[in-house]
Amino acid sequence: MSEFSEKIESLIPQLTLEEKAALTVGRDMWSTYPVERLGIPSVVMTDGPTGVRMAASSGDNIGHSMPATCFPTASGLASSWNRDLLAEVGRTIGIEAQALGVQTLLGPGLNQKRSPLGGRNFEYLSEDPVLTGELATAFVNGIQGEGVGACPKHYVANESETNRMFSDAIIDERVLRENYLHAFEVAVKKAQPWTMMESYNKINGEYVAENKRLLHDILKEEWGYEGIVISDWGAVNDRVGGIRAGLHLQMPTAPTAWRVVDAVNDGSLDESRLDEVVRDLLEYVFKADAAKKIGVTFSEDEHHQVARRAAAESVTLLQNDGDLLPLSPSAQVAVIGEFAKKPRYQGGGSSKVNPTRVEILYDELSAAYGNDLPYAAGYHGEEISDELLAEAVETARAADIAVVVIGLPDSYETEGRDRTHIDLPEAHNTLVSHIHEVQPNTVVVVINGSAVDLSWVSYVPAIVEGWLTGQGSGGAIADVLTGAVNPSGKLAESFPWRIEDTPTYTCFWPDAHGTIPFSEGVFYGYRWYDTRDIEPHFPFGHGLSYTTFEYSDLNLSTTTYTEGEPLEVQVTITNTGDRMGKEVVQLYIHEHESRFPRAVRELKDFAKVELAPGESQIVTFVLDGKAFAQWDTAVPGWVVNPGTFDIIVGASSRDLRLETSLEVNSTSLPKKVYTRMTPLGDFMKIPAIEKMVRDQFIARMGDGPFMEMILMFVISTPVGKMAYNGQMSEEQLQGMLDMANAS
């Protein structure tokens, strides 16, 4: 029961069938249908992963929206690994939404980065479901704390853009649960977003928009979701089927309400089911209306500073050979690259924000040095000429240090299409190689929304990943380069050497029927690279600082853990350098013997700490049984396998500092049922049966050169086949079954 329940129950009988149907479809591009005679208002929503994209009219008008603060894209924010920062950004966006009359923001994006080719990867947080779920929770709580609904998207398995309207993700249930549903589950249970956006695609042959198991059984019944499900724009194929499944609101407006009316009238849709959907919709509408604040204003200056701080904490120092960074205040610095003066700071498509201002990296660096620094464009877009290259080379040669700014043009990363490679434009790579030949002190700043091939990594001493960090990106990158900010970003996605090394190299693209086999299973991102021992350019969780950190004193609250209890993990982090800095402490687990294939390491928690030089802090993590569990499709449910696990803490998935072992006892492992199809070897794990088998069967086999091979064949044979073939009697078989199932 909510504060609106009594009101809603009194309204439903007063609504006509036509009004009920109309409520389930948008009024226009961005608002819900009102029923003015009953005092049911309209709710306004708009895109919002990186800022409020409030259209100037009821149409879409991408690029023609009201000015709002443009924050880093999700790939940048996730590199901060900072829950508090995500919450602050969410709160700030929520305030602007209130000021602009927006009641629901369509974000954040929770899809996983199963391939670096995903055209919308800049809009998604990470390649790990735990990291994604935790950061999304903070962001949602931040937005909703200001009385504005969040809308996590795209639920679920919309991990690529190609043929997204009809692609069919073929996913094993365990993979779906552990990898692709997990982040949504965390956000629902910890933040209760007001709305959830379902995705365009099919899963295992059924459109998500009509999938009752996903929209109702899992989301509502299992997870206890209290909000409504909204379609992605234009995703509905069967409005009546969607209502049956649990799709509350079709967006944008479409002439489909009459189909709902006809379905009720002809008996193919029970009106009581429509009433359930309308009941949830009215709960959302009245909640949003009650939370609306009149007369909210905000300081563009203050919000810009939040955007700049968020950008600075997202910037990631990938390489710093010889401590070339931070830049010396007395150095003669040259700035090379068109992006330094014509920045790319956000992705393309529906998330595009009209910023209140944009900082320019060249201007910010010049201001830091107190004069206009030498500059050369080096390239125009994706093109380079002999004249541009010659000017850039001479400018770099005359300096002490060259800062070269390159990256991906807007056309490379945008909603609606995927990348076909992970290369930077050839003009940008050419520029780097020529600058390096004349200037060994070269710093490369890369501007991009997702992983790229940094083929020149071996001969460039310093590399800064600048991401698409919003309107404050110019100042934020300058702050990191000059040392005004100590970098603390860590990669939320792996950077592979080659696209051929990636887990989805053979299964990313849909076939002629739109089918996408998720045949990599649970192994994607760092879980693939670490398990296969494939060395990436830069691993998941990697990021350098201008100071150093020491890990010590890893302790567990117990060395024998029983599922259902909390497990406390503590580790001490010390700043052993000479300047203030932030470190992201990452906790991974490794299972020694798993019942099902499992990655060699899985992230289970993380914490970001800020320490003064010489300062130490004890970081405490608390894990529950879910951290050790796998989805067992036979149960079906989450099951913890008893046995030995390693608890590992480190600075990345490859930079592992400390580990200790833990014995885990399970309360969820189902009792094994022995049947005629159980292999003999499984029975032999029971001591009494093993002795009987050895005495009555194996001893009669004798010795010989092929006995070991024959023995392996025998113990892998189902006992029912052995009885059928006369190798044991039915009485012996039944005795074994009774003894095993009673054990």
Tens of pLDDT, residue by residue over 12-62, are: 999 999 999 999 999 999 999 999 999 999 999 999 889 999 987 655 555
pLDDT at 706 over 70: no
Same domain, yes or no: 382 and 499: yes
Distance CA 458, CA 488 (A): 23
Same domain, yes or no: 559 and 633: yes
Residue 333 included in any domain? yes
Residue 77 included in any domain? no
Same domain, yes or no: 318 and 460: yes
Same domain, yes or no: 655 and 687: no
Q: Which domain holds residue 616?
A: 549-665
Tens of pLDDT, residue by residue over 572-582, are: 999 999 999 99
Instruction: Band the pLDDT of 299: cuts 50, 70, 90.
Output: very high
pLDDT at 701 over 80: no
Same domain, yes or no: 706 and 607: no
Same domain, yes or no: 629 and 707: no
pLDDT at 697 over 80: no
Residue 467 included in any domain? yes
The question of whether 578 is a catalytic residue gets the answer no
Same domain, yes or no: 623 and 696: no
Q: Model-level pTM?
A: 0.95
Mean pLDDT of the chain: 96
Same domain, yes or no: 447 and 317: yes
Which residues on adjacent β-strands are paired with residue 110?
A: none
Catalytic residue of the set 47, 232, 479, 530: 232
546 Cβ contact partners less than 8 Å away, ≥ 6 residues apart: 317, 325, 326, 483, 486, 487, 577, 579, 581
End position of a domain, from candidates 613, 632, 665: 665
The alpha-helical segments, DSSP class H, found in 292-358 are 300-314
- Write out 248-284 in H/E/C secondary structure: CEECCCCCCHHHHHHHHHCCCCCHHHHHHHHHHHHHH
Tens of pLDDT, residue by residue over 192-240, are: 999 999 999 999 999 999 999 999 999 999 999 999 999 999 999 999 9
End position of a domain, from candidates 665, 695, 730: 665
Distance CA 729, CA 305 (A): 81
Tens of pLDDT, residue by residue over 538-561, are: 999 999 999 999 999 999 999 999
For the packed helices 473-482 and 361-369, what is the interaxial angle rounded to 10 degrees?
40
Same domain, yes or no: 313 and 356: yes
Same domain, yes or no: 497 and 606: no
End position of a domain, from candidates 611, 638, 665: 665
Same domain, yes or no: 432 and 565: no
Structural domains in the chain (count): 3
